[in-house]
Amino acid sequence: MWSGPRNLSTALMYAFGARGDCDIWDEPFYAAYLKATGIDHPMRDDIIAAHEDDPARVAAACRGPAPHGAPVFYQKHMTLHMVDGFDRSFMRDCINVFLIRHPARVIASYARKRDQPTLDDIGFPQQEQLFDEVTGWLGHRPVVVDSHDIRADPARTLEALCAAIGIPYTDNMLRWPTGGHADDGVWAPHWYSAVHGSSGFEAPEGDLPVLSGAFQALADAALPYYQRLAQYRITP
């Protein structure tokens, strides 16, 4: 599952983790991304210390098997983590799905956690690039799912998603225990406070948030990337 940050990505990971037949992996390349780029993120040193930071080792593990032997192996990937030079060949052994969200919602959420985000920070150009790469070697477009549709009708949208990737849907995906998941990354205390208090998907989203200044300019820059993929999104 390829998304940028603040895309409903953790809630969707929890939904798959609640299936009963699925192991999850939370942002496998995060530590490798931080080490390779030198970028300053909250808890940077803790993340690198606690997680594998060799991208080749991470890529090899992404091929499976699932860490606890489950038949379904869900990997929550951030598009911005796939920096130039990282081995992407493992993607050919996976079903690649693209989780999108309107940039105004992404930026409003991200800005509460980290100051002055850039276009690369929120992953929209990288998501389009990966989408095109996968399309090129598949010969057809990969699956796209919009977080707005999940929030609007979780059961029907997740049922359509499961059908599109060839696994059975279960209502177990609609509920998970509060307090997080045992396989959360070490960064969870900083980023996951809202979803840790949840036991299911939140209510449908309302109007787009009102942005101003640099935040609105960033949303305007990201919007064409979102719109391009949104035209291919699955619908219930």
Q: Is 232 exposed, middle or buried (0-12, 13-18, 19+ CB in 10 A)?
A: middle
What 3-state class would DSSP assign to 142?
coil
Looking at the DSSP bridge assignments, the partners of residue 25 are 75
- Assess whether pLDDT exceeds 80 at residue 234: yes
pLDDT of 59: 98
CA pair distance 15, 72, nearest whole angstrom = 13
pLDDT of 110: 83
Question: Cα-flanking dihedrals φ and ψ of residue 105, to 5°?
Answer: -70, -40
What 3-state class would DSSP assign to 61?
helix
C-alpha dihedral over 190, 180, 230, 212, to 10 degrees?
-30
CATH fold of 2-230: Rossmann fold (3.40.50)
CB atoms inside a 10 Å sphere around CB 206: 6
The answer, as to whether pTM is greater than 0.85, is yes
Angle at 48 between CA 29 and CA 186, to 5 degrees: 80
- DSSP per position, 2-50: EE-TTSSHHHHHHHHHTSSSEEEEE-TTHHHHHHHH----TTHHHHHHH
CA pair distance 131, 127, nearest whole angstrom = 6
Tens digits of residue pLDDT in 106-147:
999 888 777 788 999 999 999 999 999 999 999 999 999 999
